[in-house]
């Protein structure tokens, strides 16, 4: 039995208890209860027999949530909502030729310091150390994710 919460539902970790569910609709499942033993959620992989009855061949993950019980557990904590951006996210790929000594975290630091509001995330997706480049350099590719609540102009995204 685990007594810590890895899910951020706004419920203090000490209020939930987790254990393996024995519900036969699942192949493997987790039961989430409040400290009093009331089940607030069961989630897991749907059993093969049930999937076959519906003609489903892929694995299916199902969650049965007792919203009334979950809301009671969150009632002591303020829940904060943020408006979802009306504009789709944009990403740009950037290839750089850098000395081997330059670390990815240093590039991220410079990028985020340069554009604090617009740049949401920087990811490294390729590193090449080909002999054609030079023995002292490497080519690395990064994906930049600018995002704002307002419309990004093409110039801002680039």
- Decide: 37 and 18 in contact? Cβ < 8 Å: no
Confidence of residue 157 (pLDDT cuts 50, 70, 90): very low
Report pLDDT for 3: 40
Query: What is the per-residue pLDDT across 30-42, written as a single tens digit (0 to 9) for each?
Result: 999 988 899 999 9
- pLDDT-derived band at 52, boundaries 50, 70, 90: very high
With 80 as the cut, is the pLDDT of residue 94 above it? no
Whole-model pTM above 0.85?
no
């Amino acid at each position: 039995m685990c007594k810590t919460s890895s899910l951020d539902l706004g419920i203090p970790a000490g209020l939930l208890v987790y254990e393996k569910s024995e519900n036969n609709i699942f192949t493997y499942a987790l039961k989430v209860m409040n400290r009093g033993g009331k089940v607030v959620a069961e989630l897991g992989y749907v059993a093969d027999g049930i999937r076959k009855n519906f003609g489903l061949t892929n694995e299916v993950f199902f969650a049965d949530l007792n919203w009334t019980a979950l809301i009671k557990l969150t009632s002591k904590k303020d829940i904060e909502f943020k408006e979802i951006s009306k504009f789709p996210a944009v990403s740009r790929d950037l290839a750089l030729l850098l000395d081997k000594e330059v670390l990815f975290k240093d590039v991220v630091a410079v990028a985020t310091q340069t554009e604090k509001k617009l740049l949401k995330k920087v990811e490294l997706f390729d590193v090449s150390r080909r002999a054609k480049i030079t023995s002292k350099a490497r080519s690395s590719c990064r994906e930049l994710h600018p995002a704002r609540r307002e419309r990004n102009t093409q110039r801002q995204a680039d």
